[in-house]
Amino acid sequence: MASLADLRKDYTLHGLLEHELAPCPFDQFAKWFGDAVNAKVTEPNAMTLATATVHGAPSARIVLLKSFDERGFTFYTSYEGRKAGELGENPRAALVFYWPDLERQIRIEGDVQKVNKKESEDYFLSRPVGSRIGAWASKQSSVMKGREELEARWHEIEKRFADGIVPLPETWGGYRLWPNSIEFWQGRPSRMHDRILYERNGTFWGIKRLGP
């Protein structure tokens, strides 16, 4: 087995210079996200979501970005799980996208609010029926006796909605992160990476280069 200290990669694919940047970070995100889709990156919308309790104890997990625009970055989840509890106590979070095939990552930090019920319902009803049943069946983050309990619950919900009409549960919906900062990181040779930080000041976005 190779030593962890010997595991390293030299980054050579791209650079990120100031004259290449979009003035708006959402436009820059759209460009990079499009690059990830075109490169056929596996689940380009997978992102780490980091939250914290009111006392500052952190937790992180992978969730899927489902939309983005100048209002922010939206994902959907149970309102009963750990992440929802932490966002209820401390409505600030961070997102990280990592696309190793492109030697890029994006860090986003900001404030989080629930999306309105209509938006949650529109997205929920666009999901496959099985996924909608799963949202009803799962009591996210609760302790279970075994896999059998979850599967029994799923079959119970499947019978309940045998007509295929599965409505939005009250305990499920979306969150939108409105960013205060967005950092674009591009790997470069010899660890001389490019880091460009957009910071929000009202309606204005300032742009800074950070040391690698």
Residues taking part in catalysis = 191
Element holding 112 (H helix, E strand) = strand 104-114
Q: Are 207 and 18 in contact (CB under 8 A)?
A: yes
For residue 84, CA distances in Å to 73, 91, 95, 165, 166 come to 16, 9, 15, 26, 22
3-state secondary structure of 34: helix
Residue 157 forms beta bridges with which residues? Answer: none
Please report, to the nearest 10 degrees, the dihedral formed by the alpha carbons of residues 193, 196, 197, 202 taken in order: 180
Q: Which residues pair with 97 in a beta bridge?
A: 106
Do 32 and 184 touch, CB atoms closer than 8 A?
A: yes
Q: Is 31 helix (H, G, I), strand (E, B) or coil?
A: helix
Q: Which helix (H) or strand (E) holds 133?
A: helix 129-137
